Amino acid sequence: PLLPVSCFVHILCYQNTLRDGFPYERRPESRAFIPADEGDYYYTAAVWGGYLEDMYKLVRYCYKQSEEDAKNKIEAIWQEESHLNKYLLYNKPTKVLSPEYLWSDYDGIPEDIRVVRISQLIKNYAEVRPNGGH
């Protein structure tokens, strides 16, 4: 089913469009697991949006899956972003925005991107992530 949700394709997919190169959670023990032959886009968890009810369902799903992983002493490779990608694999967003709408200050801006709409600031992941920055 299509959800009235807007998502951004991750900057990692800017030039790499092969799903084998996307950082999906590949460990079957995690609730965020996506099999190697599945997946279409890799979405960033930095920004997404939609109607309140749809956002509630999405956030609730990611929270519950993360909690299940925690009970099983596992953390998805990219935490909530991994769970978001699992959710969106089976609940397709209606609007998918390309990476230039959400670029990162970590990376230089390629010549073919004329305008960056939103720029992510550099942050100290080791400071904000309990797993040391992954």
Identify whether the C-beta of residue 65 lies closer than 8 Å to the C-beta of residue 31.
yes
Q: How many CB atoms lie within 10 A of CB 116?
A: 15
Task: Say whether 84 sits in a helix, a strand or coil.
Answer: helix
Which residues of the chain carry a pLDDT beneath 50? none
Is 111 among the catalytic positions?
no
Question: Is 133 a domain residue?
Answer: no
Gyration radius (Cα) of the chain, Å: 15
Residue 58: per-residue pLDDT: 95
Question: Is 15 a domain residue?
Answer: yes
Residue 64: per-residue pLDDT: 98
Starting at the earlier edge strand, list the strands of the sheet with 92-97. Answer: 43-50, 2-9, 92-97
Annotation: binding site: 81
Domain that includes residue 30, residue range: 2-108+117-128
CATH number, domain at 121?
A: 3.90.550.10
Identify whether the C-beta of residue 102 lies closer than 8 Å to the C-beta of residue 13.
no
Catalytic residue selected from 25, 75, 81, 100: 81
> Model's pTM, two decimal places?
0.82
The DSSP secondary-structure symbol of 121 reads: P
